[in-house]
Amino acid sequence: MKTHTSETQSSMTPEKALQVLKEGNLRFVSNLKTNRNLLQQVNETRDGQWPFAVVLSCIDSRTSAELIFDQGLGDIFSIRIAGNIVNTDIIGSIEFACKVAGSKLIVVLGHSKCGAIKGACDHVEMGNLTELLSKIQPAVYLETKTDESGERNSRNPEFVENVANLNVRRSVKTIVDRSYILEQMIESGEISIIGAKHNLDTGLVEFYEDSMICNKVDVRAQMSY
């Protein structure tokens, strides 16, 4: 597969970028990885890079975005942090990826059985991790499918997955809420943002189509939520 150039990146739409990632994930789960000459890609990207998407995912060693979407060098920006949480530095990095470097799609990628989510569900406090997990706590409190008579902790797999889903959706909304630059780019149709979740059991990525924000109407709707 050819390395992305400024021409292929500029011709990419947010919709096409999403389709490329979906197709890549299907290759991954089917064990049909594209044959790439990585050394050639090193040479072809040494003077510049033109990634078509930026993926915010967890640091979990099983969730490498390049691998699960079957992408090569120079194809995507990969931002990784425990619990795929959002902070100012991460939003700034996404702004760079889209406004400066030309990426067309933002994906917030959670995953099943996430340790950070479990830690937040158990209200773990440990050094600097305490502050990180506090950014997931709103999703814990927003989970209403599990009543107080149920186990609202990491021993309840369903509760953990519900919180993980909510955390992804909150991160999508937070990114748009806290970045005027990205909001304007979405409104103009330059970029889109969507939430997704990687299933560690199957390798399949489920995209939350109803979380996608891709135009001015979507931005206004999520601001009123």
Q: Is residue 164 part of a domain?
A: yes
**Contacts (Cβ under 8 Å, ≥6 apart) of 138:** 170
For the segment 136-149, the average pLDDT, to the nearest whole number, is 91
The pTM assigned to this predicted structure is 0.93
Rounded to whole angstroms, the Cα distance separating 88 from 30 reads: 37
Lowest-pLDDT range, 47-51, 111-115, 211-215?
Answer: 47-51
**pLDDT score recorded for residue 223:** 62
Number of H helices, E strands in the chain: 11, 5
pLDDT single digits (tens) 90-136: 999 999 999 999 999 999 999 999 999 999 999 999 999 999 999 99
Task: Please report, for the domain that includes residue 133, its CATH number.
Answer: 3.40.1050.10
- Per DSSP (E only), the strands in the chain are 53-57, 76-80, 105-111, 192-198, 205-213
Whether 13 is in a domain gets the answer yes
Q: 185, exposed or middle or buried, with CB in 10 Å at 0-12, 13-18, 19+?
A: buried
Closest CA to 68 of 82, 55, 52, 84: 55
> How many whole angstroms separate alpha carbon 14 and alpha carbon 110?
20
Tell me if 208 is assigned to some domain: yes
- 68 within some domain: yes
- State how many domains the chain has: 1
Instruction: Report the C-alpha gap between 86 and 89 in whole angstroms.
Output: 8
Q: Does residue 1 lie in a domain region?
A: no
Domain carrying residue 76 = 6-223
Q: Is residue 186 part of a domain?
A: yes
Q: How many CA atoms lie within 13 A of 183 on its CB side?
A: 14
pLDDT at 48: 72
